[in-house]
A and B are shown apart, each in its own frame.
Chain A
Amino acid sequence: MNGFFDLPSDLGQSWLGLVGLHLREALLPVLAGLLVSLPVAQLCVRFRWIYPPVLGIATVLYAIPSLAFFVVLIDYFGQSETTVMIPLALYSLVVLVPAIVDGVRSVPPETLAAAQAMGFGAVRRYFQVQLPLAVPAIIAGLRVATVSSISLVSVGMLIGNQGALGNMLYAAQTYGRPALAVNAVLTIGVLGMLADAALVLLRFLLTPWMPRKGAGR
Chain B
Amino acid sequence: MNVLDFARAFFGDGAHWHGYDGIPTRFAEHIGYCLEALAIAAAIGLPVGLLTGHTGRGGNALAFLATAGRALPSFGLLVLMFIWIGLGLLPVMIPLVVLAVPPILVTTYEAVRSVDPSPVDAARGMGMPETRVLFQVEVPVALPLILSGLRTAAVQIVSTATIAAYVSLGGLGRYIIDGLYQKDYEKVVGGATLVAGLALVTLAVFWAVSRLAVSPGVRRGGRG
Contacts and interface: CB of A to CB of B under 8 A. Distances in A.
B173 A65 contact: yes
Interface stretch (B118-126, B131-139, B184-192): B184-192
Contacts of A144: 70
Contacts of B205: none
Contact of B199 (A63, A173, A188): A63
Interface string A172-198: 110000100110110011111100100
Interface stretch (A34-42, A102-110, A114-122, A154-162): A154-162
Contacts of A72: 3, 185, 188-189, 192
A217 B59 CA distance: 8
A216 B60 contact: yes
A155 B180 contact: no
A60 interface: yes
B173 to A, nearest CB: 7
Interface string A62-74: 1111111101100
B70 A60 contact: no
B160 interface: yes
A172 B71 contact: no
B160 A65 contact: yes
A150 interface: yes
| Interface of chain A: mostly helix, strand, loop or mixed | helix
B77 interface: yes
A217 B110 CA distance: 10
Interface string A130-171: 000000000000001001101110110111000000100100
B196 interface: yes
User: Which secondary structure characterizes the binding site on chain B?
Assistant: helix
A150 B74 CA distance: 11
Interface of A: 59-60, 62-69, 71-72, 75, 144, 147-148, 150-152, 154-155, 157-159, 166, 169, 172-173, 178, 181-182, 184-185, 188-193, 196, 216-217
21 contacts: A62-B155, A67-B180, A71-B176, A72-B185, A144-B70, A147-B67, A150-B73, A159-B180, A166-B75, A166-B76, A169-B75, A172-B83, A184-B76, A185-B80, A188-B72, A188-B73, A189-B68, A192-B67, A193-B68, A216-B60, A217-B59
Interface of B: 3, 59-60, 63, 67-68, 70-77, 79-80, 83-84, 155, 158-160, 162-163, 166, 173, 176-177, 179-180, 185, 188-189, 191-192, 195-196, 198-200, 203
